């Protein structure tokens, strides 16, 4: 049984093809520059050479049709025909308070989701375009919505309410929603496995650090607080987003410059973060290279980003009272020892000790790693996230009628014997080049 997952942005469509019976990823890929000139698809299939081809995609429908044509291509494809696809899972960014769980997509759902557009004007319209395009191309299979915000619906009102006029909350839905939910769900379940604990007896701090970044306090296996808010703008310093700031800055800049609301929104979402600090780099890899050469602005960007993460770790430790593990995940979290090191330095009084050597070695996306230092009361893990696997299992369970919210449902990747086959093969290749990785691979007790 094959399940397709789609992550549609305004100008891109990411996809994964998963063989549920074999529990194996068949292919991943992305169509870039959708609705723009110069579109192309990059397709990565197990056991085959990477496939990249230019193809104009003026609409999302054409982009998704291109993906399906590639999947059944006799040379680079991974399925014999489209009838093998039995369900499609869609990443939906902002479900508001209306959707606390994944759900089958129907006309009623789409109408309700459209009402949430104002909450995520940069994300929800693109998600809708992708769903409508996929339903046009694959009308006879169930389409399932997996909400980025659903994981955080367990937060108490003391965590999600803002100190703002009550009618803003009642009439305009202004509250903290949080994002990166599928990533946090996956990491929370896997961290519990690595700890050898019941997930609902586990307290965690999970830092999802990528171009977008947020941090999650997990209490007894459920989201208790998170750094992103009404939108993905609040919280940590990100690639191009500012994160936390004094709201008075907005009014100050409007008075000083005459900027419009749209101008301010663009500055805070697309021209701030580490890009704003450095003036030229949004990619942390570029900043790392510049910092290694002594560039003072690059060094400052790293210091500011790490310090913001450290402040949230301390705050969430206080909120939870007891922490079993600190988890780093996503692109920078998994591959950025230069961010992890200062973000955890000086936390020994909290019982958090990171082994500097292990942290420096921990750059691998094919294994769960343990970088805990001697005497640490809190485990420190680096876990490669797998949002697509959560989407895949939710779609499968919805199709089978077995799905429920995570507090009532056990994911198959929660098993002690769970193996990601593609990553296991990748780890063998990594170990051939870097045998010392073996010593920091996390062991299940």
Q: Where are the beta strands (DSSP E) in 102-179?
A: 103-104, 143-147
The whole-number pLDDT of residue 119 equals: 79
CB 238 within 8 A of CB 230: no
Q: Which residues are marked as active site? A: 148
Residue 440 lies in a domain: no
Mean pLDDT of 220-233: 96
Structural domain contains residue 407: no
Same domain, 139 and 248: no
Q: Is residue 22 part of a domain?
A: yes
pLDDT at position 365 is: 92
Mean pLDDT of 295-299: 97
Shared domain check, 112 and 201: no
- Is there a single domain that holds both residue 329 and residue 241? yes
Task: Name the pairing type of β-strands 325-329 and 379-382.
Answer: parallel
pLDDT tens profile 190-221 = 999 999 999 999 999 999 999 899 999 999 99
Same domain, 85 and 202: no
Q: Which of 85, 119, 147 is the last residue of a domain?
A: 147
Q: Is residue 370 part of a domain?
A: yes
CB 203 within 8 A of CB 311: no
Range of the domain at 216: 196-383
Nearest to 87 by CA among 70, 103, 66: 103
- 312-329 tens-digit pLDDT: 999 999 999 999 999 999
Quote the pLDDT of residue 9: 76
Burial of 256 (0-12, 13-18, 19+ CB in 10 A): exposed
Q: What is the pLDDT of residue 136?
A: 87
pTM listed for this prediction: 0.94
Task: Write down the pLDDT at residue 2.
Answer: 95
Q: Is the residue at 444 inside a domain?
A: no
- Dig out the tokens for 85 from the structure: 């696809």
- What total of structural domains would you count in the chain? 2
Domain boundary, last residue among 383, 418, 436: 383
Secondary structure (DSSP) of 29-67: EEEESTTSSS-EEEEEETTS--EEEE---SSHHHHHHHH
Residue at 130 is within a domain: yes
Whether 432 is covered by a domain: the verdict is no
CATH of the domain at 109: 3.30.420.40
């Amino acid at each position: 049984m094959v399940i397709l997952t789609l992550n549609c942005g305004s100008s891109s469509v990411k996809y994964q093809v998963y063989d549920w019976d074999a529990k194996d990823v068949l292919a991943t890929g992305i169509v870039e520059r959708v609705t723009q000139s110069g579109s192309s698809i990059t397709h990565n299939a197990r056991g085959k050479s990477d496939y990249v081809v230019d193809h104009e995609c003026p609409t999302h429908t054409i982009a998704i049709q291109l993906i399906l044509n590639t999947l059944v291509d006799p040379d680079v494809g991974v399925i014999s025909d489209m009838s093998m696809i039995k369900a499609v899972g869609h990443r939906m960014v902002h479900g508001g308070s209306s959707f606390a769980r994944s759900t089958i997509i129907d006309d009623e759902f789409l109408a309700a989701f459209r009402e949430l557009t104002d909450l995520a004007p940069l994300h929800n319209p693109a998600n809708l375009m992708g769903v409508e395009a996929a339903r046009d191309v694959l009308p006879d299979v169930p389409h399932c919505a997996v909400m980025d915000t659903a994981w955080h619906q367990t937060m108490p009102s003391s965590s999600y309410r803002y100190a703002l006029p009550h009618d803003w909350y009642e009439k305009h839905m202004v509250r903290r929603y949080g994002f990166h939910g599928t990533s946090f769900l996956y990491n929370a379940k896997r961290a519990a496995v690595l700890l050898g604990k019941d997930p609902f007896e586990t307290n965690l701090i999970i830092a999802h650090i990528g171009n977008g970044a947020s941090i999650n306090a997990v209490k007894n296996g459920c989201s208790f607080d998170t750094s992103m808010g009404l939108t993905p703008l609040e919280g940590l310093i990100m690639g191009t987003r500012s994160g936390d700031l004094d709201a008075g800055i907005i009014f100050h800049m409007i008075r000083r410059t005459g900027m419009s609301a749209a101008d301010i929104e663009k500055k805070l979402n697309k021209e701030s973060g580490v890009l704003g600090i450095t003036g030229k780099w949004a990619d942390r890899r570029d900043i790392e290279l510049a910092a290694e050469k002594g560039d003072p602005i690059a060094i400052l960007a790293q210091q500011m980003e790490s310090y913001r993460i450290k402040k949230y770790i301390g705050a969430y430790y206080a909120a939870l009272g007891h922490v079993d593990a600190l988890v780093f995940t996503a692109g920078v979290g998994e591959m950025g020892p230069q961010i992890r090191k200062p973000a955890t330095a000086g936390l020994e009084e909290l019982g958090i000790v990171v082994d500097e050597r292990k942290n420096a070695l921990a750059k691998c996306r094919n294994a769960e790693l343990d970088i805990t230092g001697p005497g640490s009361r809190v485990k420190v893990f680096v876990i490669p996230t797998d949002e697509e696997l959560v989407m895949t299992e939710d779609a499968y369970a919805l199709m089978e009628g077995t799905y429920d919210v995570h507090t009532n449902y056990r994911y198959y990747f929660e098993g002690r014997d769970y193996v990601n086959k593609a990553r296991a093969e990748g780890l063998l290749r990594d170990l051939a080049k870097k045998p010392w990785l073996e010593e920091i691979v996390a062991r299940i007790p």
